[in-house]
């Protein structure tokens, strides 16, 4: 670049010598602040803490026995779904952080380029300024006027430019270190997005699937237990029914004891019936005898009255 050497006798020219290059060094920080303004990176650690809390809650719920079978399964499924949603939010936050880092890397690359250009410009100002100062000192003397020492003022200005150049020189490795840190962080975040986040989601899906499998096994165990209970109960009922039917089949319609009792009652009935019949015949014979007696008495009385009526 072409440097315009100042008139060392002009204080304003000396003051403004290299001021533009010095000002651009200060403008770097302002540019960084302007690029950072309005950008907010979400705190992933809070979301990871939330995820850990939910996964622990799932583990505690699985170990607890106070939940009913269906209610516990539904609650576990909801917790796993919320955990997946948290993983998705973490992935989005990491993606935002990666994008921010990539923008910062580009910005730092631009800053490094600008800093290199400014370093070169400051070097030109310092080197050509020193040559101008040396020529001035050869051609001029102080003449005893310390207060208006133009060479001293310009030497001080060159010293300030050298300080600024040193700052610019130090900024170069600082920019590269910060840029390298951002690159490593961006790579780690990219690795997390590609490998870790899918692994988390897969593990959650596996856990949910295993939970569903366990619930299905519990259901199958209940079905098997119920089946075995029904088979045992039916076998007992069949045994009881079969034995009862067999006893019934082997038993006659009537027993000998029943026939004996029936025969005794029948004989007693016949004896009593014969006795009653004998008593009835005797009663009838007595009645006939009484009737004959009555008839004789009636005839006798009738005959006696008839004979009495015929007497003179």
Token output for 227: 């089946």
The predicted pLDDT at position 28 comes to 66
Let me know: does 31 contact 111? Beta carbons within 8 Å: yes
CA angle 241/244/248 to nearest 5° reads 135
Contact 54, 82 (CB under 8 A): yes
What 3 state SS string does the chain have?
CCCCCCCCCCHHHHHHCCHHHHHHHHHHHHHHHHHHCCCCCCCHHHHHHHHHHHHHHHHHHHHCCCCCHHHHHHHHHHHHHHHHHHHHHHHHHHHHHHHHHHHHHHHHHHHHHHHHHHHHHHHHHHHHHHHHHHHHHHHCCCCCCCCCCHHHHHHHHHHHHHHHHHHHHHHHHHHHHHHHHHHHHHHHHHHHHHHHHHHHHHHHHHHHHHHHHHHHHHHHHHHHHHHHHHHHHHHHHHHHHHHHHHHHHHCCCCCHHHHHHHHHHHHHHHHHHHHHHHHHHHHHHHHHHHHHHHHHHHHHHHHHHHHHHHCC
Q: Where are the domains of the chain?
A: 11-222
As a whole number of angstroms, the distance between CA 17 and CA 8 comes to 10
184 vs 186: CA distance, rounded Å: 5
Per-residue tokens: 21: 């290059």
Q: What is the pLDDT at residue 210?
A: 79
Contacting residues for 172 by C-beta, under 8 A, at least 6 apart: 112, 115, 116, 119
Q: Among candidates 35, 49, 52, 162, which has minimal Cα distance to 111?
A: 35
pLDDT of residue 38: 46
What does the pLDDT read at residue 67?
Answer: 43
Q: How many other C-beta atoms lie within 10 A of the C-beta of residue 126?
A: 21
Cα of first residue to Cα of last residue in the chain, in angstroms, is: 212
The per-residue pLDDT for 58 is 64
> What pLDDT does 146 receive?
47
Model pLDDT, residue 66:
44
**Cα separation, 126 vs 28, whole angstroms:** 21
Q: Which stretches of the chain drop beneath a pLDDT of 50?
A: 37-38, 65-70, 144-146
**CA proximity to 200, closest of 78, 85, 74:** 85
């Amino acid at each position: 670049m072409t440097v315009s050497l100042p008139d060392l006798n002009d204080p304003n020219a000396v003051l403004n010598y290299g001021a533009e290059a010095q000002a651009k060094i200060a403008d770097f920080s302002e540019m960084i602040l302007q690029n950072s303004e309005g950008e907010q990176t979400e705190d992933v650690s809070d979301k990871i803490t939330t995820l850990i809390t939910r996964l622990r809650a799932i583990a505690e719920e699985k170990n607890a026995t106070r939940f009913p079978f269906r209610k516990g399964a539904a609650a576990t499924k909801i917790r796993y779904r919320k955990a997946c949603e948290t993983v998705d939010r973490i992935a989005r936050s990491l993606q935002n952080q990666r994008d921010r880092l990539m923008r910062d890397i580009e910005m730092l690359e631009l800053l490094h380029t600008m800093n290199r250009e400014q370093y070169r410009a400051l070097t030109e100002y310092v080197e050509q300024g020193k040559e101008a100062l040396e020529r001035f000192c050869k051609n001029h003397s102080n003449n005893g006027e310390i207060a208006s020492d133009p060479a001293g003022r310009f030497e001080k200005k060159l010293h300030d430019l050298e300080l600024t150049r040193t700052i610019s020189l130090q900024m170069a490795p600082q920019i590269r270190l910060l840029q390298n840190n951002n690159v490593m962080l961006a790579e780690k975040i990219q690795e997390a997005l590609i490998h870790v986040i899918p692994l988390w989601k897969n593990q959650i899906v596996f856990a949910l699937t295993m939970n569903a499998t366990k619930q299905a096994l519990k259901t199958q165990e209940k079905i098997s237990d119920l089946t075995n209970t029904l088979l045992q109960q039916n076998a007992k009922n069949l045994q009881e029914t079969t034995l009862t039917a067999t006893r019934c089949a082997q038993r006659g319609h009537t027993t000998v004891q029943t026939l004996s009792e029936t025969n005794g009652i029948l004989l007693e009935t016949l004896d009593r019936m014969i006795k009653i019949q004998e008593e009835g015949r005797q009663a009838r014979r007595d009645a006939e005898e009484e009737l004959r007696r009555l008839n004789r008495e009636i005839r006798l009385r009738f005959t006696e009255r008839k004979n009495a009526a015929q007497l003179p």
